[in-house]
């Protein structure tokens, strides 16, 4: 496996692979790889001939009061995990390689980036859209794998790829969960043992709502909120029932819908989501 | 020569050319081709193996009170002009092909897109940056030719290409002028015979300022403004002396500087510019 830190290196590597008729898979990550990332890499490795994993903690997508500085960074561990999952290339550029002269150009996605996580984290999806557009421009024609755990991010990335006509097939992959239901996330490692237990309430709230058979939006929101309020160390940010494509809140469930939840567990903000009507 | 109107057609055409080791040149235009465009196409055709000219009147870059509806459209004439200049492909998509589900994603360039033309035409450079990013994503690795007549646009396009790491070499080409100095522009055809004569004052003002040897910013601005005020049918918008890379106004000329001018000639808004210290 090759570990590269220069844009032109990875561009050439993937260009050469395509010249030989090999299909390229791309797995953009911020490192701190866990079982969810491994599932993305494995899926890419099964379908594609060359899988490139990018490891870049993107400053653009963090707010000033967020955890950019302390976000976990361990390139050696990430390289080992990527290789074990079947990656052929790890692209781990320093910030100065990605943003050598500051960041004038930003990619904005409008309303889809302003609700829910976008409302809680102003500028977050602009940062995501910008770095993903740049990674797509670097990688060239490929399949790109993103987890459904960050469901709104997946929609944003799909929208950027479609609107800007990148030659990229965006593949959404199911959330990978711990045995007790907690969605795998790099931020789970911030949790104390007590918080780790309490954090399962996000999953329990989603699963109960999905299994309830309830069709009224507000009733579903209240059901999830009640679950979360039973955990004293967990503060709900939002519990939403929304159109699965537009993320507009639903009064009554119809068509493809999605349950989405965000809460602070101690000092750690976690998110999760579930398609409505599907018990996982 | 091939005339294509679907994104996937032109993407495949250029991809296949590169697969055969041929270099691709891209000349993005809004049609209404004139001698300035011909010079871009000829330059691409001399250097590249395949030259694709895009003809798309991009609604995103027009303000609500601007001339989108009446902007000249004559695809047959454009195809003939492109072929005569050496183009191999014309890509002329309808608006629905470029923006099938509205326009959620926008590319923004910050301050560089907010001064001068950006101040006079709010949203203009966001529209330019968005369509150019999309054309770059469609075309793939190439050289892209833009005229210096739209100098601020050239800087914006360079910035987008660099910031988002598109595999595109942006080539700026000198302004092509009529015999009396008027910069060629598709909007010149809006001018009445009297306005056409008066319009040369943009060039005369720039040339006089460039030849003056003056190093004080305000003196240069006043010199250009005086020229323009001598033409009763011409209303100055701005006459600026700016850093050639950042477009920040200069108090005194130092380093690479650019003279830029915008004025309304009758109902038609025209722009022009000149490097400082270079008599053309």
The interface pTM score, or ipTM, of the predicted complex is: 0.95
**Residues in chain A within 8 Å Cβ distance of B140:** 140-141, 167
Round the average pLDDT of chain B to a whole number and report it: 96
Binned at pLDDT 50, 70 and 90, residue A101 comes out as confident
Give the pLDDT confidence score for residue A103 in this predicted structure: 83
Asked if A105 lies within 8 A of B105 by C-beta distance, the reply is: no
Asked if B134 lies within 8 A of A165 by C-beta distance, the reply is: yes
> How far does A160 lie from chain B, in Å, by closest CA?
6
Asked if A164 lies within 8 A of B105 by C-beta distance, the reply is: yes
Give the pLDDT confidence score for residue B278 in this predicted structure: 47
**Residues in chain A within 8 Å Cβ distance of B105:** 107-110, 129, 159-160, 163-164
**Residues in chain A within 8 Å Cβ distance of B118:** none
Asked if B108 lies within 8 A of A103 by C-beta distance, the reply is: no
Q: Which domain holds residue A107?
A: 2-173
Distance CA B28, CA B143 (A): 11
Q: Is A11 on the interface with B (CB under 8 A)?
A: yes
Which phi-psi region, left, alpha or beta, contains residue A268 (left: φ > 0; alpha: ψ -120 to 50)? beta
In this structure, is residue B279 part of a structural domain?
no
Contact pairs from chain A to chain B, CB under 8 Å: 89
> Of A138, A176, A139, A132, nearest to A154 (Cα)?
A132
Please check whether residues B27 and B166 belong to one and the same domain. Answer: yes
Residue range B129-153: mean pLDDT, rounded: 98
Q: Which B residues in the span 46-75 are in contact with A, Cβ-Cβ below 8 Å?
A: none
Please check whether residues B83 and B213 belong to one and the same domain. Answer: no
In this structure, is residue B267 part of a structural domain?
yes
> Of A234, A237, A260, nearest to A248 (Cα)?
A260
Please check whether residues A108 and A17 belong to one and the same domain. Answer: yes
Tokens of A29: 């990550």
Please check whether residues B103 and B192 belong to one and the same domain. Answer: no
Which phi-psi region, left, alpha or beta, contains residue A3 (left: φ > 0; alpha: ψ -120 to 50)? beta
In this structure, is residue B22 part of a structural domain?
yes
> How far does A268 lie from chain B, in Å, by closest CA?
30
Binned at pLDDT 50, 70 and 90, residue A278 comes out as very low
Please check whether residues A111 and A201 belong to one and the same domain. Answer: no
Which of B131, B146, B173 terminates a domain? The answer is B173
Residue-wise DSSP of chain A: -EEE--HHHHHHHHHHHHHTT--EEEEEE-S---HHHHHHHHHHHHH-SEEEEEE---GGGS-TTSSTTTS---HHHHHHHHHHHT-SEEE---HHHHSBTB---EEE-GGGGTSTHHHHSTTHHHHHHHHHHHHHHHH-SEEEEEETTSHHHHHHHHHHHHHTT-SEEEEEEPPPB-TTSPBP-GGGGG--HHHHHHTTHHHHHHHHHHHS---BHHHHHHHHHHHHHT-TTEEEEEEEEEETTT--B-SB--SSEEEEEEEEETTEEEEEEEETT---
Residue range B237-249: mean pLDDT, rounded: 97
Please check whether residues B118 and B206 belong to one and the same domain. Answer: no
Please check whether residues B108 and B164 belong to one and the same domain. Answer: yes
Of A44-48, A56-60, A260-264, B273-277, give the lowest mean pLDDT range. B273-277
Distance CA B127, CA B133 (A): 10
In this structure, is residue A279 part of a structural domain?
no
Counted domains in chain B: 2
Give the chain A residue nearest B114 (alpha carbons).
A104
CB-count burial class (<10 Å; 0-12, 13-18, 19+) for A110: middle
- In a mutational test of the B interface, the residue from A20, A21, A107 whose CB has the highest number of chain B CBs within 10 Å is A107
Which of A146, A173, A200 terminates a domain? The answer is A173
> Of A127, A94, A160, nearest to B103 (Cα)?
A160
The predicted model scores a pTM of: 0.96
Residue range A164-191: mean pLDDT, rounded: 98
In this structure, is residue A268 part of a structural domain?
yes
In this structure, is residue A240 part of a structural domain?
yes
Q: Is A101 on the interface with B (CB under 8 A)?
A: yes
In this structure, is residue B181 part of a structural domain?
no
Please check whether residues A160 and A210 belong to one and the same domain. Answer: no
Residue with tokens 């598109």: B166
Residue range A35-41: mean pLDDT, rounded: 98
Please check whether residues B46 and B110 belong to one and the same domain. Answer: yes
Please check whether residues B209 and B169 belong to one and the same domain. Answer: no
Residue range B10-14: mean pLDDT, rounded: 98
Give the CATH number, domain containing residue A267: 3.30.1300.10
Contact present, B145 and B43 (Cβ < 8 Å): yes
Residue range A75-104: mean pLDDT, rounded: 96
Residue range B193-205: mean pLDDT, rounded: 98
Q: Which residues of B are catalytic?
A: 37
Distance CA B4, CA B17 (A): 15
Which of A126, A147, A173 terminates a domain? The answer is A173
**Residues in chain A within 8 Å Cβ distance of B108:** 105-108
Please check whether residues A161 and A106 belong to one and the same domain. Answer: yes
Give the CATH number, domain containing residue A41: 3.40.50.620
Q: Which B residues in the span 130-149 are in contact with A, Cβ-Cβ below 8 Å?
A: 130, 133-134, 136-138, 140-141
Give the chain B residue nearest A18 (alpha carbons).
B19
From residue A30, how far is each of A64, A124, A236 by CA, in Å? Answer: 18, 14, 25
Please check whether residues A35 and A159 belong to one and the same domain. Answer: yes
Binned at pLDDT 50, 70 and 90, residue A277 comes out as low
In this structure, is residue A178 part of a structural domain?
no
């Amino acid at each position: 496996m090759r570990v590269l830190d220069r844009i032109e290196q990875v561009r050439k590597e993937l260009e050469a692979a395509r010249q030989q008729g090999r299909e390229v898979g791309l797995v953009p990550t911020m490192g701190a790889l866990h079982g969810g990332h491994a599932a993305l890499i494995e899926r890419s490795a099964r379908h594609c001939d060359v899988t490139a994993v990018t490891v870049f903690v993107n400053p653009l997508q963090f707010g000033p009061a967020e955890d950019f500085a302390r976000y976990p960074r361990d390139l050696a561990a990430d390289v080992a995990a990527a290789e074990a999952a079947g990656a052929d290339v790890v692209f781990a550029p320093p910030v100065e390689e990605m943003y050598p002269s500051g960041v004038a150009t930003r990619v904005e996605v409008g309303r889809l980036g302003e609700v829910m996580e976008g409302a809680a984290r102003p500028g977050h999806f602009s940062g995501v859209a910008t770095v993903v557009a740049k990674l797509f421009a670097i990688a060239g024609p490929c399949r790109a794998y993103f987890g459904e755990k960050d469901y709104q991010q997946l929609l944003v990335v799909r929208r950027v790829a479609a609107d800007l006509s990148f030659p990229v097939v965006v593949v959404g992959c199911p959330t990978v969960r711990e045995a007790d239901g907690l969605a795998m996330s790099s931020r789970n490692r911030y949790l104390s043992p007590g918080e780790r237990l309490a954090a399962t309430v996000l999953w329990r709230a989603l699963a109960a709502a999905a299994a309830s058979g309830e069709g009224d939006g507000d009733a579903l929101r209240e059901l999830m909120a009640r679950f979360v309020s039973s955990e004293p160390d967990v503060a709900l940010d939002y519990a939403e029932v929304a159109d699965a494509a537009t993320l507009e809140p639903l009064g009554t469930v119809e068509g493809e819908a999605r349950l989405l939840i965000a809460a602070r567990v101690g000092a750690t903000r976690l998110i999760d989501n579930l398609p409505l009507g599907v018990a996982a």
